[in-house]
């Protein structure tokens, strides 16, 4: 029998503006996520994915509907109550890492622990375990400017886990990583869901994450929708060779009259730095020359 939900979203609407210029970024979405499960939210750019994720974590208040986290409807909580809920129940992972440059790896990870009863000292054993598990022990005293992209994302994951929150929210966690580092982070999130018993919700365009997701939610124009049939809008990233859904990828460019689509910003940047390495003398994968 499926475990009771860590998070339950019920008919949630988020409207920006009013009158004829108003926009419903999220329009009547309902879903639930449980411990040990990964829910992947995909869809075209501008479909409301990040808005929905922000409401799940109490960063944005819905216009209507219920968001039940740890038995409480966080849509009804005051602005003074929300920080404590986020500190105890939600871990956030961002595409841009959001590490503080003046703090070391260890200090960045410890930052959220300041909001818990035991404080920083009470979290040190937890941090030591996370540094060891994520292969960051040797980088404990390093500063973000000296870290690789993959290391920065592992620090961000450790920071999200330090408070042992039951809900982990990740917004494009592989978007700034190359294909190898992206796979590493994908498997880390898979292991965390299973080993830590977290409910993990990921917003992404990266189709590799589908391999580890328990549930795929397709969002389009702010509403849950059926995903376009496979083969209708798929091509291959010319840099790493990964299959990419053209309808949902936000990373693309034209070169010599041909459009290329990429799985991540990192692959796009590699193509831009030397397009002839990937395009000259052959047709781009999945498209006619």
Burial grade of 145 (CB within 10 A; 0-12, 13-18, 19 or more): exposed
pLDDT tens sequence across 169-208: 999 888 888 878 888 888 888 988 888 889 999 998 888 7
195 and 53 housed in the same domain: yes
Burial of 279 (0-12, 13-18, 19+ CB in 10 A): middle
d(CA 35, CA 167): 8
Instruction: Tell me, yes or no, whether 287 lies in a domain.
Output: no
Domain for residue 288, yes or no? no
Is 41 a member of any domain?
A: yes
Q: What is the phi/psi pair of residue 25, to 5°? A: -70, -35
Q: How confident is the model at residue 53 (pLDDT cuts 50, 70, 90)?
A: very high
Residues 130 and 269 in one domain: no
> pLDDT (tens digit, 9 = 90+) per residue, 140-149?
999 999 999 8
Shared-domain flag, residues 135 and 205:
yes
In a domain, 165, yes or no: yes
Domain that includes residue 218, residue range? 5-224
Q: What is the sign of the dihedral through the CA atoms of 60, 186, 166 and 127?
A: negative
């Amino acid at each position: 029998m499926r475990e009771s939900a860590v998070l339950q979203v019920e008919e949630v609407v988020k409207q920006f503006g009013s009158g004829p210029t108003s926009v419903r970024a999220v329009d009547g979405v309902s879903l639930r996520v449980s411990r040990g499960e990964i829910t992947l939210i995909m869809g075209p750019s501008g479909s409301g994915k990040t808005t929905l994720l922000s409401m799940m974590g109490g960063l944005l208040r819905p216009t209507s509907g219920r968001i039940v986290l740890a038995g409480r409807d966080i849509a009804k909580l005051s602005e003074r109550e929300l920080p404590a809920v986020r500190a105890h129940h939600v871990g956030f992972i961002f595409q841009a890492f959001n590490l503080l440059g003046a703090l070391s790896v260890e200090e960045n990870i410890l930052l959220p622990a300041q909001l818990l009863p035991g404080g920083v000292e009470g979290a040190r054993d937890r941090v030591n375990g996370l540094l060891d598990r994520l292969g960051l022990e040797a980088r404990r005293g390093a500063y973000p400017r000296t870290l690789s992209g993959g290391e920065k994302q592992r620090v961000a994951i450790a920071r999200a886990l330090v408070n042992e929150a039951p809900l982990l929210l990740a917004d494009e966690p592989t978007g700034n990583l190359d294909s190898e580092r992206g796979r590493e982070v994908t498997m880390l999130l898979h292991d965390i869901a299973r080993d830590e018993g977290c409910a993990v919700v990921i917003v992404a365009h990266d189709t590799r994450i589908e391999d580890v997701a328990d549930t795929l939610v397709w969002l389009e124009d702010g509403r849950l929708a059926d995903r376009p049939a496979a083969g209708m809008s798929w091509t291959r990233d010319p840099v790493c060779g990964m299959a990419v859904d053209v309808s949902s990828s936000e990373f693309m460019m034209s070169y010599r009259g041909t459009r290329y689509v990429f799985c991540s910003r990192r692959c796009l940047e590699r193509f831009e730095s030397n397009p002839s390495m990937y395009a000259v003398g052959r047709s781009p994968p999945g498209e006619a020359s």
